[in-house]
Amino acid sequence: MSYYQKVEWTITPKSVPKVFRNCPKCGEKTHYVNSTKFRVNANGKNLDVWLIYNCSKCKSKWNMPIHERVNPKEIDPKRYDCYIKNDKDLAHHIGFDPDIHRRNNSELVYESMEFDVLVSKVEHKDYTEHSQEITIRCPLSLNLRLDKLLADQTGISRSNLSKTLSDHLPLKKRIKDGMTFILPGDC
């Protein structure tokens, strides 16, 4: 008889992805940094909202469209308030939003992004094996591969993980919120 220890890994990124795009001033593709500031332009029945990015080299601005020529009544008042107040959480959230970035053809840079993993036990059972059932909690789209996360958490190299676990786990897949898998005891 074997029991699993059920745990949750809550993953919180420490930064927001940069955007790799052409900077007209630098004359080449550079990394643009999320300034966490919005620009709002309300003109009668038309509302425009942008999230401001800055070129990491020359600080030039790129205003990424969030809403273009929408009726202000269509925007939730609480959300509008967040735009006006430069709400950091919302700016971070939008920084990860794959739909908005796809719409703006922005190429997100996830390399060298760091994240915190909070491990919490869901079920306290006696268990005879050390196998763990792990559920990922990660509402943001992190573009993080499972093998990278496991290597960081277990200290085992990605090549060794591949040798021992590739038959059981989708190691090359990106993690998703709610994803559950079993990590054997010898890991």
- Which residues of the shown chain bind Zn ion in the complex (CB under 5 A)? 23, 25-26, 55, 57-58, 60
Distance in Å, CB of 55 to Zn ion, minimum: 3
Distance in Å, CB of 31 to Zn ion, minimum: 9
For Zn ion, the closer of residues 11 and 23 by Cβ is 23
Q: What is the DSSP string of 86-151?
A: T-HHHHHHHHH-HHHHHHTT-EEE-TT--EEEEEEEEE----SS--EEEEEE--S----BHHHHHH
Distance in Å, CB of 24 to Zn ion, minimum: 8
For Zn ion, the closer of residues 26 and 84 by Cβ is 26
For Zn ion, the closer of residues 55 and 165 by Cβ is 55
Residue 155 φ/ψ region, left for φ over 0, alpha for ψ in the -120 to 50 degree band, beta for the rest: left
Q: What is the DSSP string of 1-27?
A: ----EEEEEEEEESS--EEEEEETTTT
Distance in Å, CB of 58 to Zn ion, minimum: 3
For Zn ion, the closer of residues 104 and 162 by Cβ is 104
